[in-house]
Amino acid sequence: MGGSYPLQQVSTSGTVVKVPGGEVDPIHVARQLAPISAALSRVLEEDRDGYLQQIEVALSITGDGDIAFIKSGGEAALKLTIARQREIRIP
């Protein structure tokens, strides 16, 4: 299963509008997310004191189907959360 999916956006009136010529290829998105996820995972691994428990990043998809980071206050189409693994101890 594969292929591209139409890119849509929510207009200011709240209606969903298809972006002309905009398509999203999930494989392309996954290839972009992998290095972002790996880099953020390293940040958690290097925090030996355990101060950070998780990192959340707001992302969007551009009209070209690429991943873009969102500035504070922007609307995120995707939220990437990287969290520490918790140890479960069984007595």
Express each pLDDT in 1-58 by its tens digit.
468 888 887 777 878 888 777 788 889 999 999 999 999 889 888 888 878 888 888 8
Distance, CA of 60 to CA of 73 (rounded, Å): 13
pLDDT of 88 reads 66
pLDDT of 1 reads 47
Distance, CA of 4 to CA of 17 (rounded, Å): 17
- Nearest in space to 9 (alpha carbons), one of 66, 20, 46, 27: 20
pLDDT of 87 reads 67
Chain centroid, CA 36 distance in Å: 9
Structure tokens belonging to residue 45: 């691994």
Express each pLDDT in 67-88 by its tens digit.
998 877 777 788 888 887 766 6
Q: Is the pTM of this model over 0.85?
A: no
Other beta carbons within 10 Å of 24: 19
